[in-house]
Amino acid sequence: MRNWWKGRKYILAAVCLCLLAGAVAPRPAKPAVPAKPVQQAQGVLQGITILVDAGHGGTDGGAIAPHSGTPEKELNLKVAQALRDELEKSGARVIMTRDADMEYSRNKRADLTARLDLARQENAALLVSIHMNEYRSQKESGPQVFYRAGQAQSRLLAGAIQEAMVLELKPAKARSAMAGDYFILSLDIPSVLVECGFLSNPAEEKLLLTEDYQQRVAQAIRDGIADYVSLQIVETNTVID
Ligand SMILES: [Zn+2]
């Protein structure tokens, strides 16, 4: 009994010392320059859940690259996987709608609904759907980001990604983000659909098939997302101050 109490006494003493240390420790002076937001110190995307959707999959190959015969679904997955790696390096929690050649349903609407359900279940803060464009003219080129009309935050996110892609990929045609009516953009979280380039343009098809360019595309999308998120942090801080 006495030994037990002796042990308890030391524990109590240690607890008291800790409390005392906390009580007498000088409060740090308020820095003249505002400290960096925690998110930046740990990676600007720390703690943010992002749904990355590799468009199409399974029996739905999407567009077919005319010269190589490569289906869009393969390129979408490669860019989506590279994007996931980049986002995770920045601290984001990434949910992939698919990490292999699969589909949720052969019914297109049911397949897309399952992808949206995943975003809801995982409480995603942002949604990025990856696609490759095609057009009847071979001349059309350049990445193009879409958002749903009337969604202000989606428009900002699309604009930030579009800007980063133009800046970093230097496409021959610098496009602007555009409103587009896509079912995958129907959630009320900031959502964008990124057409990484035109498979119907022979030079762009060649580029999009290379791992190096896929990596650069992923990097640019990540940078655009980070720019958008940083802007939100700055605006939030401004409101609080
Ligand atoms: Zn597509």
Q: Cβ contacts of residue 208 below 8 Å, gap of 6+?
A: 65, 75, 132, 196, 197, 199, 214, 217
pLDDT of res. 43: 84
pLDDT of res. 25: 42
* Residues 66-111 pLDDT 10s: 999 999 999 999 999 999 999 999 999 999 999 999 999 999 999 9
Give Cα separations from 193 to 183, 228, 239 (angstroms): 10, 15, 30
Ligand 1 centre and the CA of 54: distance in Å?
Answer: 9
Give the CB-side neighbour count of residue 202, counting CA atoms within 13 A.
1
Backbone phi and psi for residue 81, each to the nearest 5 degrees, phi listed first: -65, -40
Ligand 1 centre and the CA of 29: distance in Å?
Answer: 54
Ligand 1 centre and the CA of 15: distance in Å?
Answer: 61
Ligand 1 centre and the CA of 99: distance in Å?
Answer: 16
Domain-wise residue ranges, the chain: 43-240
Ligand 1 centre and the CA of 207: distance in Å?
Answer: 17
pLDDT of res. 85: 98
pLDDT of res. 36: 46
Range 43-240: architecture per CATH: 3-Layer(aba) Sandwich (3.40)
pLDDT higher than 90, residue 156: yes
Return the percentage of the chain with pLDDT > 90, whole number. Answer: 77
pLDDT higher than 90, residue 239: no
pLDDT of res. 110: 98
Cα–Cα distance measured from residue 121 to residue 236, given in angstroms and rounded to the nearest whole number: 26
- Contact call for residues 46 and 180 (beta carbons, < 8 A): no
pLDDT of res. 143: 98
pLDDT higher than 90, residue 21: no
Q: Cβ contacts of residue 233 below 8 Å, gap of 6+?
A: 37, 39, 40, 44
pLDDT higher than 90, residue 23: no
- Order of strands across the sheet with 178-179? 93-96, 49-54, 126-133, 191-198, 144-147, 178-179
Ligand 1 centre and the CA of 148: distance in Å?
Answer: 16
Confidence of residue 232 (pLDDT cuts 50, 70, 90): confident
pLDDT of res. 42: 58
Q: What is the pTM of this model?
A: 0.81
Cα–Cα distance measured from residue 123 to residue 127, given in angstroms and rounded to the nearest whole number: 11
pLDDT higher than 80, residue 231: yes
Cα–Cα distance measured from residue 96 to residue 80, given in angstroms and rounded to the nearest whole number: 8
β-strands 191-198, 144-147: how paired?
antiparallel
Confidence of residue 238 (pLDDT cuts 50, 70, 90): low
Ligand 1 centre and the CA of 36: distance in Å?
Answer: 39
Q: What is the mean pLDDT of residues 25-45?
A: 54
pLDDT higher than 90, residue 215: yes
